[in-house]
Amino acid sequence: MPLTLPAVPNALGNIRNVFTSGLLSLQGLTNPLNLSHKQKVIVILIDGLGAEQIMQRSGHAPWLNSLLSKKSISVCGFPATTSANIASFATGDSPGQHGLVGHRVWDRKHDEQINLLVGWNERTDPRVWQPRQTVSERALALGLQCNVVAASEYRDTGYTEATMREANFIAANSWQEKLEAARAIVNSKQQSLTYLYIPELDKFGHQNGWSSSGWAAMLEELDAMLRSFCEQVPKDTGVVITADHGMIETSKPRQLVLDDSYDKSGSVQFVGGDTRVNYVYLDDIGAVDQVVADLEPFSYAFDAVRTEEAIAANWFGEVLQPARDRLPELMLLAKSDFTLYHSKYFKSRSFDMIAHHGSLSPAEIRVPLIRIGF
């Protein structure tokens, strides 16, 4: 089976420009999104709400869908997963620069697997694993207020420390509480940049699918609430609505358990990443071709990519040494609606998930970039 390098859009990773543009807007400076000068900027990030999902469920999101156009759709970074993309959003950097390169990676220094979203421990200091200056830190250095409006459970996490350092954390658990907090911010006289995080659609989608009636009902409620909020923001305020990735649904027959093929060579040390993009860590880089050959019977379901070729093709942006040390030797990118597993390394609940993300399909990487008031 030949190793292939799928084509990627030129805009891959443009989510990194969103929060940075919000900060530059407050300063009245030119920015990648061409946002006009505002006194207050609110960026609402809806985890897992891809542009394709909005369009396919347009009857449940009439307001959001009405605002979608070629200019209001962007592309998240690779891999299409939260840990990499919100870190890019929060720093303005590519995954290769900030180092949070995937969902689950192998820490070669400590010989252990690390979940970069929720698996931080005493050996993963957020300021070491993500040493780049955050947009929130830049705002503070300029004397500007930067707020995070999110559920209280995220206040003291390692990931929050890695991505939203020094920000003013406002705990709000329901959508109503979050939007009330945002209203208080935009009605104040203080110049500010605010990040408002909505994770519920992603969580529900993983468990029940984004084509489910329950997901549609949630989207319909959120669409109405966002419309009401945005129609009342003052003229000195701009709002951006975006997402970190989209989703694709699968079914049990499309779940491929690759244990035997992975284990055949004896060279696979760990399989991480996501169900839609497996990160394959080897104890011998020279074994890549053999591992790929062992996986040949399932090659209809994925593209096998040498990570060094993806780096050369700029999938991760500029890749600094810490990120290079965390990346695998080989990646398997799921095609169509397949998902890929090694049962030793993937938790049982991942087999029960209906919606997934991580790979390069339009449903996973195309995200809304809706600007209101600019």
Closest by CA to 357, choosing from 77, 141, 155, is 77
Bridge partner residues of 75 (DSSP): 366
Q: How far is CA 285 from the centre of its chain?
A: 28
Q: How many CB atoms are closer than 10 A to CB 238? A: 25
The CATH classification number of 252-354 equals 3.30.1360.180
How far apart CA 42 and CA 35 sit, in angstroms, is: 12
For residue 221 the two structure tokens come to 């409620």
> Which residues make up the CATH 3.40.720.10 domain(s) of the chain?
14-248+359-372
Q: How many Å apart are CA 344 and CA 18, to the nearest integer?
A: 37
- Decide if 77 contacts 16 (C-beta within 8 A): yes
Please state whether the predicted TM-score (pTM) of the whole model is above 0.75.
Answer: yes
Is residue 1 a contact partner of residue 299, using CB atoms and an 8 Å limit? Answer: yes
CB contact set of 289 (below 8 Å; sequence gap of 6+): none
| CATH code given to domain 14-248+359-372 | 3.40.720.10
Spatial distance between the Cα atoms of 200 and 217, rounded to a whole number of angstroms: 12
**Closest of 137, 127, 128, 124 to residue 92, by C-alpha:** 137
Q: Which of 256, 309, 237 is CA-nearest to residue 7? A: 309
Tokens, residue 275: 């169900």
Residue range(s) in the chain whose domain bears CATH number 3.30.1360.180: 252-354
Per-residue pLDDT for the chain (374 aa), expressed as one digit of tens each? 667 799 999 999 999 999 999 999 999 999 999 999 999 999 999 999 999 999 999 999 999 999 999 999 999 999 999 999 999 999 999 999 999 999 999 999 889 999 999 999 888 999 999 999 999 999 999 999 999 999 999 999 999 999 999 999 999 999 999 999 999 999 999 999 999 999 999 999 999 999 999 999 999 999 999 999 999 999 999 999 999 999 999 999 999 999 999 999 999 999 999 999 999 999 988 999 999 999 999 999 999 999 999 999 999 999 999 999 999 999 999 999 999 999 999 999 999 999 999 999 999 999 999 999 99
Cis ω on the peptide bond leading into residue 9 (within 30° of 0)? no
Question: 242: closest CA among 112, 53, 370, 105?
Answer: 370
